[in-house]
Structures are given as structure tokens and as C-alpha cells.
Amino acid sequence: MAEKLVMVALSPTMEEGVILAWNKKEGDTIVSGDVLCEVETDKTSMEYESNQEGVLLKILRPEGDSAQVGDAIGVIGKKGENITKFLQTISQEQEASVHEASLKDKQNDSMKTDIERKPDTDKLIKASPLARKIAVDKGVSLSNIKGSGPAGRITKKDVEATQQYAVKSVAGIDKDIPLESVRKIIAKRLSESKFNSPHYYVTLSVDMSRVLAARTEVNKSHDKKVGVNAFLIKMVAEALRKHPQVNASWRETFIRQFGSVDIGLAVDRGNGLITPVVRDCVSKGIVVIDKELKTLIEKAGENTLLPEEYSGATFTISNLGSFGIEEFTAIINPPGSAILAIGKTVFTPMCDEQRNVVVRPMMKMTLSSDHRVIDGVLAARFMTSLKAIMEDPIYVLL
């Protein structure tokens, strides 16, 4: 008997996925564990392994189309099975879902990712994100295109088939850029964090002389240079060991103090941020942390990070120093209750203890804290400890 193949949640935060490529074609036999297709989630690209067996009778979502978790993307059943009525049922379900979403959109004055509202009417046009992107880039109006996808949804092929495809965008005209799934999830998660967590900020300037000197000494004995971020992660881990109350999470009815220090580093992939996580940083040395971090960053650039490699950080670091940014504040990355914003190291004239003018490599760091978990005094103590560790790394050994 025919069954639906539905989009499943391939990551903890996934709500929608884009089908990048089908590994199976209609008529192929499928066994449990076969890779059906490659899906772009809110964070990375992952393989969708089947837990069903049978013959792939119909592909409902072609490559480039997106689907909400739970949406049908194909039909599996017995070879030669008549699925005409089954497809009609699926189409009706999809139309009902679209209608329900339309009503919700009108109530909230918002729109779903896979629809475009015409500026002169209230009519909703169903289109895949890729189709909408191509239409915007080529100056094609979706209102004149008939969709061939499920429930009349406009696909990439529909846009490319229209005669309007040759029309170019005109310079100076407003351009609406469709939201990619990554950008949409980032917007949602950070908005929730900013509005739900009462943020406040404390800033300190740190003399980086000894950290830079220590890095120079470490790199003398290693072929692959150890990055500054590895030193930052290790020193933050030691400060968290001294102040475990900061390594915690708000859970509505209780505060969870994490037993492991798992630090995430915000990394830009070009189309959105992701936070690879180095686990159990207290028990690891700087060289080991650097090696793991570089592997994770490489995988992030290739969109091959696994969910357990980018989720569940107990504390996060965001470093914009390489971009020349001297000071900024960052939004907390749940489930952690704090994030440390690192600025550029700037050689700055200042007075030493004898009131002599000296030039030091100074770096500003700002801690964003959730006031429900971390009081101001605790944040100050944590930052003071971190400053002491960075200005005299021997503290790491104490």
C-alpha cells in the first residue's frame, strides 16, 4: 500500500528543508537505510536516509524545492501500484495546509517563505524559494506563470520555461531577496533570544602582550600555527571553571549548571552564522583545541557539520577582531546564558604603574549576559578573572 515520504527534522532546530539533490529516481527500489536525497537544513546539508521500504513511485518535491517538516516529498509503495487517488488526497491536504497558512498570514500580517504576495492584490502566489530567487534575478513576474508543482506551486522549471526569462532586472529598482532557510532560522532564534532573555553588557580592556608572546612560543614548536581563538577558548574555559554559575542555562522552573564546558565559536559561512562547538574545553590543551576547531571550521565551510557539532554550546565566543571591529555587543546563543564579543587588538598608548607612557596591544571584550541567570556582580567577577588569566596565563595552572 502506498505511503507518503515526508520531510523529517534532520537537525534539532530544523523546521524546513530544501532538497538539493535526489539520490533515487522514480521506479527505484528503496530499502531501509538508503540515502534518498540530500537536504539543506537551517544549518548544514545532510543526507536523508529512508526508514521505509518499497518502490519510489513518485517524487513530489523536485530538486531546489523546499518542504516544511512533515510535508510529503514523495510516494513509496509496490511496483505498478495505482496511486492516482492517493496523489489527489495528498494534493487536497496540501491545498488545505496552504489555505490554513494563508489565513494565519492574514491574521499576523506575515508571510510564509514559499509564497509571494502581489503588491496590487491580496492574492497569494505559491512558489519554491529557488523559483522566486530566479524570478527576482531575471525580473520575471510570477503572476503570469502557471505552476506545475504540487497544488499549482511554481518551480524552477516553470520560471525558466516562460518567455519572460530573458528580461533583465533594471538598475535602480527595489529588489526583494528571498530568505534562505539559514537566514530565516537565524532571524527567528536570535529574535527569540533577544526578546526572551534580558540582556545586559559589561566591557573590559585586556593587555594581550603575554597571550601573543605565549602564542609565539607555542608556534615555534609546531608546523601548523595555533590560532588566537584556541587561546581564547582555553582561557574562557578556565574562567568558567572558576565561575561555574556562568556556565549555565535558564530552564523556566530551574537553572541548569552544566557539568561540561562546551564552547561555541561563531563562524560566518557567507549565507549565515553557525557555531561549531569544542566539547569539554577544560580537560583539553590549547593545541588540541586548535586542531579540533580548525576541523570544525573546515566542515562548516563545506556544510558538512553534524547537528551534535554545532548545537548545545554552554558558552559562545564571537570574534570580529579580524574584520577590524574594535568593540561590539553580541546576542546570546541559547541554551547558554552568555556570549563574549571579542574586538580587534589595537596598540594603545597608556600609563604603566610608574606613570610612564607605554604602548600595549589592548583588546576590548564585552560579555552579554542573561540577567535571569547571571547577576551583574557575577558577570564582573567572571570578566575580572578572565582578564587576569589573559594578562598572566600562569593563572591557568593554578
* CB atoms near residue 244 (< 10 Å): 12
What is the rounded CA–CA span in Å between residue 32 and residue 326?
53
Closest CA to 234 of 294, 313, 306, 317: 317
What is the rounded CA–CA span in Å between residue 340 and residue 315?
8
Measure CA of the first residue to CA of the last residue in the chain; give whole Å. 67
What is the rounded CA–CA span in Å between residue 125 and residue 247?
47
Residues labelled as active-site residues: 371
Closest CA to 379 of 239, 202, 233, 235: 202
Q: What is the dihedral of CA 338, 343, 347, 350, to 10 degrees?
A: -40
What is the rounded CA–CA span in Å between residue 258 and residue 125?
47
What is the rounded CA–CA span in Å between residue 219 and residue 286?
11
What is the rounded CA–CA span in Å between residue 6 and residue 3?
9
Its sign, for the CA torsion 54, 60, 65, 70, is negative
What the block records as the C-alpha cell of 246 is 556562568
What is the rounded CA–CA span in Å between residue 304 and residue 302?
5
Using alpha carbons only, what angle is made at residue 237 by residues 232 and 239, rounded to the nearest 5 degrees? Answer: 95
